[in-house]
Amino acid sequence: MKRVRFKGIGRSIFLMFVVTTPAQLIAQGDATAGAKTFSTNCSGCHGSDGRGGERAPNIATARNISSLAEKDLSNIVRNGVTGSGMPSFSFLGDKGIADVVAYLRVLQGKTSDAKITGNPEAGHALFFGQAGCSTCHMVSGLGGFMASDLTDYASGIAPTAIYKAIVEPAEVVPAGSQVVELVAASGLKITGILRSEDNFNVIIQTRDGRFQRYAKSSLKKLDYTGRSLMPIDYKTRLSAEQLNDIVGYLMRSASTIDPANQKKKRRGE
């Protein structure tokens, strides 16, 4: 804290200045300025929409990235990631880094003032009932395991972004969620989620939860569908009110998560 004294006025005037900290700068990031910085420094590898490219991963919709706190994201931008090809962007300075993080939050659909408008109770019933979401997804330890755990998925995400993810699932297919269709030498057709692949083998997970390995040389056909198991007809199968209720349920689920426990979980404690 710095004191400045001005003379020549009837009485002394003291002004108190508070030095802005990097943490405060993070909170004050300008997404508009960040968009320009991102375009110049980040889009070449991560893509203009942040959803990945040939040289860098998806940082817009990947949950392991979107769930990070602003401080953690800022540290990654500032220090880079050793051995990953992600360089340090410390030359941007605290404000420039804060701007990039603010813009990244826009790409991620994050917002700090998201309000629950749907009926969470009705959404719970739909999730585990008519909508069939729990067949593949899990929330708070209940449900399936074929798709991602949605317990904290809606943390800070705008309701419109969650709604869009439900009704337009083909827009973004998360890594490890793409459905592939195989035709074995015998003519048997197998459908499953692509879990791993190299030049010689492919590993898929079928709907019964089992992992199966196939040598590519033994397959008559290997078709990458570009879609996930997520139904594409929710917009017509469910009413707007029902969809809003599911969004409300996911938002309430995320709001009950203890941030302290989430930080420990990310650190592996």
Q: Provide mean pLDDT across the span 52-69.
A: 80
pLDDT value for 6: 39
Q: Provide mean pLDDT across the span 112-126.
A: 85
Distance separating alpha carbons of residues 17 and 123, to the nearest angstrom? 50
pLDDT value for 8: 41
pLDDT value for 257: 59
Q: Provide mean pLDDT across the span 262-267.
A: 45
Ranges of CATH 1.10.760.10 domains, the chain: 22-107, 120-172+231-267
pLDDT value for 153: 83
Is the pLDDT confidence value at 269 over 50?
Answer: no
Q: Which CATH superfamily, name and number, covers 120-172+231-267?
A: Cytochrome c-like domain (1.10.760.10)
Ranges of CATH 2.30.30.100 domains, the chain: 179-224
- The CATH class of the 179-224 domain is mainly beta
Is the pLDDT confidence value at 46 over 70?
Answer: yes
Most confidently modeled range among 62-76, 164-178, 200-214: 200-214
Give CATH for domain 22-107: 1.10.760.10
- pTM value? 0.60
Question: Quick one: what percent of the chain has pLDDT higher than 70?
Answer: 82
